[in-house]
Amino acid sequence: MLTRAQPFTRFLAIDWSGAAGERHKGIALAIADAGGGPPVLVESGAGWAREDVLALLRDSLPANTLVGMDLGISLPFADCGAFFPGFADSPPDAKALWAVVDGVCGTDPHLAATSFVDHPGFSPYFRRHGGREGAQFRCDGADHGRGRFRVTEHAQAAMGCKPYSNFNLVGAAQVGKSSLTGMRMLHRLGGVVPVWPIDPLPRSGSAIVEIYTSLAALEAQRSSNRSKIRDRAELNHALAELGSPPVPGTGPIDDHSSDALLAAAWLRKVAHEPGRWNPEGLTPEIARTEGWTFGAF
């Protein structure tokens, strides 16, 4: 349950990217103030680098900010009893997983995760480009074709979303690279900001949660097939559904920016609802190993 002694006063949504390179159009940040007003993009002149986001979270995050990051903070564990079943040194929990990913990728620049998915011990668990589906991608061969799911991803699917496995590295729906690069960032953050539910929700101060921007879109009365918004008029209609004032301007907007703006407004609307912090499927073991997506029931 939500037992905050001090309410969150700002809500920062981060649309993340696992793409190669230093700076990314796919990274967008937006912040909403608890006092009201429209959500606002946090600009970076040359485009955001993953290291920039790490520095912001570590060194200059405003007090009492709830940060929502659109990435997977862990990998499936409950379905097979391990992240990497059959691998002798499979990490026992999410924080150990972060350390392993960052350790293997220590020489990859810009918090990339190429070395991890190419590692002979871990690559059999991933679906990679060129039709390379690892022998362990499906966990005993029985799934829906989208790879192994965490418990929270099953909850997302039940809500009408179309999640993909964090072991999937292929196609527009791939989330694996963004998740792995995010794990490197979280490991290097070193606990400066707690990551719920792997860490307990602090009674005061800032916290990080995993978000799935499609959940924000669903609550703004958009279907999973219409979750991406590329027009400011459509964005402002969705914001109005969340009780938020409109953002200024007209015309096109990139979907990374609109995802971040909508998610920031959504976090502001729902973060103080106790039920959001106590989903039915979240057990202490799931929290420790797989984590959870904030807002998934």
The structural domains of the chain, with segments of one domain joined by +, span 10-73+191-277, 94-186
- What are the pLDDT digits (tens) for 111-141? 999 999 999 999 999 998 877 888 888 876 5
Indicate if the pLDDT at residue 1 is higher than 80. no
CA distance 142 to 54: 37
Helix, strand, coil percent content, the chain, rounded in steps of 5:
35, 15, 55
CA distance 142 to 31: 41
* Amino acid letter, 22: E
Q: Are 157 and 165 in contact (CB under 8 A)?
A: no
- What are the pLDDT digits (tens) for 65-102? 999 999 999 999 999 999 999 999 999 999 999 999 99
Coil/strand/helix, residue 277 = helix
CA-closest candidate to residue 268, choices 31, 61, 27, 5: 31
- Dihedral (Cα; 281, 266, 240, 217), 10-degree rounding: -60
**Could you tell me the pLDDT band of residue 164, with boundaries at 50, 70 and 90?**
confident
Dihedral sign of CA atoms 65, 249, 257, 22 in order: negative
| 60: number of Cβ within 10 Å | 7
Between 163 and 181, the more confident residue is 181
CA distance 254 to 25: 9
Tell me which H or E stretch contains 48: strand 48-49
**Could you tell me the pLDDT band of residue 23, with boundaries at 50, 70 and 90?**
very high
Q: Are 28 and 256 in contact (CB under 8 A)?
A: yes
**Could you tell me the pLDDT band of residue 247, with boundaries at 50, 70 and 90?**
very high
Which residues lie below 8 Å from residue 60, measured CB to CB, with a gap of 6+?
A: none
- What are the pLDDT digits (tens) for 248-273? 999 999 999 999 999 999 999 999 99
